[in-house]
Amino acid sequence: MNAVMLTSYPRTLTVVAVLLTLLMLAYGGAMDAVYPSLLGVFEWLETTWFGVIGKTWGAAFAFVEAVHLLGLALLGGCVLAGDGRLLGVVLTDVPVQTVVERTHRIFVFGLSICIATGIFMACGVATKIYYLPVYWFKMLALSAGMLFHFQIRRPLLGHDIQNLNPVVVKMVAVASMLVWFMVAATGRWIGFSG
Amino acid sequence: MTHEITSDNKNAKMKDDQAAALVVAQAFIVFSAIYWFTQIESVRELLQLAYG
C-alpha cells in the first residue's frame, strides 16, 4: 500500500514534504540562525552600482518603481483574468485553455519585469528592508507564489481542464489569487514601513 | 496495449497533480484566512485603543 502511494503520488508527497519542511524551518529557529549572516550581503548590495544609483538619484528610483508597478499591474491583470476564467466569472465566451495559455505568457513577462526592477529597488534600500519583517514575508509569499504557479497550477492546467475535478480547479484559482494578492499587499506594505 | 499503458500513466499523473494542487490550495487558503483575520483584528484593537 505504502509503495503504491510512493509511486502513484510523487508530486503530492513532494509537496507535503516541502510544506512540512517549511513549517519546521519557520518554527525551528532556522531563520534566526541564518538572519544575522545575511546583513553583510545587504550592506554589500547598497555599495553596488544599483545601490548607489538608487540611493543618490531619486528620479532613477522613481522611474524603476513606476516600471515595477506596471509589471505588477500586468501580473495582477493576468492572475485576475486567468483565475477569474477558471472560476467562470470573466471571459466566459473564450475557451478556458486559450485564456490560461495566453495569460501565462504575459504573466511570465510581468513577473520578469517585477523581479528585475525589484532587485534594483532592493539594492537602493537594502539595509532598510533587511530589518523589515514584512520584506521577508513578501519574499516568502513571492517564492510560494512562483512555486505554486510553475510547479502546481501550470502542470495541473496542462491536462484537459474538462477532465479535472471542478472543485480542485476553483480552489487552485482562489489560492492563486490569494497568494498574488499577498505578494502585492506586502509589497506596498514595505513602502509604508521603516 | 501501449496505448492503454500511456492512458493509465496520464490518468495517474492527472490524479497526482490534482492531489498536490488540492493540498497546496487548501494550505494557502487556510493560511491566508488566518493571516488576514489576525491582521484585521490587530487593526481593530489599535483603533479601539486610539478612539475607544
Spatial separation of the C-alpha atoms in residues B32 and B21, rounded to whole Å: 16
Domain count, chain B: 1
- Asked if the Cβ–Cβ distance from B25 to A14 is below 8 Å, we say no
Q: What is the pLDDT of residue A24?
A: 79
| Contact list, B22 vs chain A (CB under 8 Å) | 168, 171
CB A38 within 8 A of CB A130: yes
Check residue A149 and give its pLDDT.
93
In a domain, B38, yes or no: yes
Residue A30 CA to residue A33 CA, distance in Å, equals 5
User: pLDDT (tens digit, 9 = 90+) per residue, A126-140?
Assistant: 889 899 888 988 998
Q: What does the domain layout of chain A look like in residue ranges?
A: 40-191
Q: pLDDT band at A146, cuts 50/70/90?
A: very high
Q: Is residue B16 part of a domain?
A: no
Distance from B45 to chain A by nearest Cα, in Å? 19
- Per the domain annotation, does B47 fall within a domain? yes
Reported residue count of chain B is 52
- Across the interface, whether the CB atoms of A178 and B27 are under 8 A apart is answered no
Cell 475557451 -> residue: A95
CB contact under 8 A, A174 and B27: no
With a cut of 80, say whether residue A64 has pLDDT above it: yes
Q: Do B26 and A171 touch (CB under 8 A)?
A: yes
pLDDT number for residue A31: 75
User: How many CB atoms lie under 10 A from the CB of residue B46?
Assistant: 10
Q: Is residue B15 part of a domain?
A: no
Chain B residues lying within 8 Å of A164, measured CB to CB: 14, 18
How many Å from the N-terminal Cα to the C-terminal Cα in chain A? 53
pLDDT at site A192: 79
Distance from CA of B35 to the nearest CA of A (A): 10
Residue A58 pLDDT > 60:
yes
Higher pLDDT, A3 or A43: A43
pLDDT, mean of residues B22-48? 93
C-alpha cell at A47: 555599495
pLDDT confidence of residue A1: 53
Range in A12-21, A90-99, A122-131 the model is least confident about:
A12-21
Q: What is the pLDDT of residue A3?
A: 64
Confidence of residue A6 (pLDDT cuts 50, 70, 90): low
Who wins on pLDDT, A194 or A95?
A95
Contact B29 A175 (CB under 8 A): yes
Selected residues 6-45 of chain B with any CB under 8 Å from a CB in chain A:
10, 12-29, 32, 35
> Whole domain around residue B43: which residue ranges?
23-52
Confidence of residue A168 (pLDDT cuts 50, 70, 90): very high
B30–chain A nearest CA distance, Å: 9
Interchain proximity B28–A168, CB inside 8 Å: no
Is the pLDDT at B1 greater than 60? The verdict is: no
- Computed over every residue of chain B, the mean pLDDT equals 87
Q: Given B23, B25, B29, which is nearest A16 (Cβ)?
A: B23
* Average of per-residue pLDDT values in chain A: 89
Residue at B43 is within a domain: yes
Query: What are the angstrom distances between the C-alpha of A144 and each of A45, A71, A126, B13?
Result: 24, 19, 22, 22
